[in-house]
Amino acid sequence: MKPRSGSNKVVPLLRALAALSAVAILACWISLGAHMGWSQTRVPVQRTDAVTASTFTDYEERFLPGVDFLVAGLLGSAAIFALTLVMPNSKAGTRR
Amino acid sequence: MRIPSATLLVVAAIFCHAQAEELSFDFKDPRGVSQVAFSLDAPLESINGTAKGIAGTVLVDPDNLSTARGKIVVATKSLVVPNPIMRMHLLSKDWLNARSNPEISFEIKKVGRVTKKSADASEVEVTGTFTLSQVTKEVLTKADVIYLPGKLGETTNNKIHGDLLVVRSNFKIRRSDFGIRAGEFLDKVADEISLFVNLVGSAPRKI
């Protein structure tokens, strides 16, 4: 098989990168809790004070990705893929 | 004239009792249990947060809660929501303007009906003035008050002895009443704000 030349090499690489990043972002979002709200950098945790029996909210300093993270990540992957469609010498538009 | 020592003792006892009737509870809580939580509706998820920068003093006679008076102050910049960008917007000059309005306060004006629930717990009707963004409105709410004599030591590893007063109350306000983007962004940020107050005050005593 002859090696491809110029952007013909870059196009499949970029498409692989787009697919990989989409999968990684989806996996990251699911594994960290699949939070359906906005991303959080401090996560509320309910605690109870033993002396007063009061329940109060404390925060854990950690990142919880939300749907904004998911959408932004998938849009970024889609943008990389879209870039390959408009690259010169790309045959993506003509080939199936 | 010689005053009998028994009379002196009685006078001293009455004086001490009168002094002990009204306690000054400091609501600055270094343990972080005291907080005011807030919640308001928004399209993706409700906006929930807390404020822990609480200070203020309330004078309370545990045997007669109707005489309670004082003021609770919350530092505006202590408001926290889990999303950092949302917090930045919340404290910005477009919303709470934390720099110009550093405090949110509630001052007790009148304590109405007191209903005893148990030996140390009562429900009280409180009328007070709520100040937010330099606008003051009268608020009527109910609060659960729990007096815990001698419990301060348990929160300080017995370094300081005294009493605790727990106050819990829920009430609602409207941001439009306080001139916070009145009539604006109602599809994104609800007008009605639910407040969940959970305060612990301490009154140290000398042993």
**Per-residue confidence (pLDDT) for residue B30, from 0 to 100:** 87
With contact defined as beta carbons under 8 Å apart, do B105 and B130 qualify? Answer: yes
The closest of B32, B71, B83, B62 to B162, measured between CA atoms, is B62
- Indicate the pTM of the whole model: 0.83
Are the Cβ atoms of A56 and B83 closer than 8 angstroms? no
**B82, containing H or E segment:** none
CA distance A7 to B8: 103
Residues A51, B148: C-beta atoms closer than 8 Å: yes
Q: Which band of pLDDT confidence, cut at 50, 70 and 90, is reported for residue A88?
A: confident
Q: Which residues of B touch A (CB under 8 A)?
A: 31-35, 37, 44-45, 48, 50, 80, 82-84, 86, 146, 148, 151, 154-155, 164, 166, 168, 198, 200
Tell me the two tokens of residue B63. 């045997």
Predicted pLDDT at B44: 82
| Band of pLDDT at residue A89, cut at 50, 70 and 90 | low
Are residues B155 and A56, on separate chains, in Cβ contact within 8 Å? no
Q: What are phi and psi of B9, to 5 degrees?
A: -60, -45
pLDDT-derived band at A1, boundaries 50, 70, 90: very low
Q: How far is B136 from chain A (nearest CA, A)?
A: 27
pLDDT at residue A83 is higher than 60 = yes
- For residue B157, the chain A residue with the least C-alpha distance is A51
pLDDT at residue A6 tops 70: no
pLDDT tens digits, one per residue of A35-50:
999 999 999 999 999 9
Cα–Cα distance, B90 to A92 (Å, whole number): 47
Q: What is the pLDDT along chain B (207 residues), one digit of tens a residue?
A: 555 555 554 554 444 444 457 999 999 998 999 999 999 998 888 999 999 999 999 999 999 999 999 999 999 999 999 999 999 999 999 999 999 999 999 999 999 999 999 989 999 999 999 999 999 999 999 999 999 999 999 999 888 999 999 999 999 999 999 999 999 999 889 999 999 999 999 999 876
ipTM above 0.85, yes or no: no
Residue B15 has a pLDDT of 47
- Asked whether A25 and A73 are in contact (CB, 8 A), the reply is yes
DSSP letters, A62-96, are: --B--HHHHHHHHHHHHHHHHHHHHSTT--TTT--
Q: Do B32 and A56 touch (CB under 8 A)?
A: yes
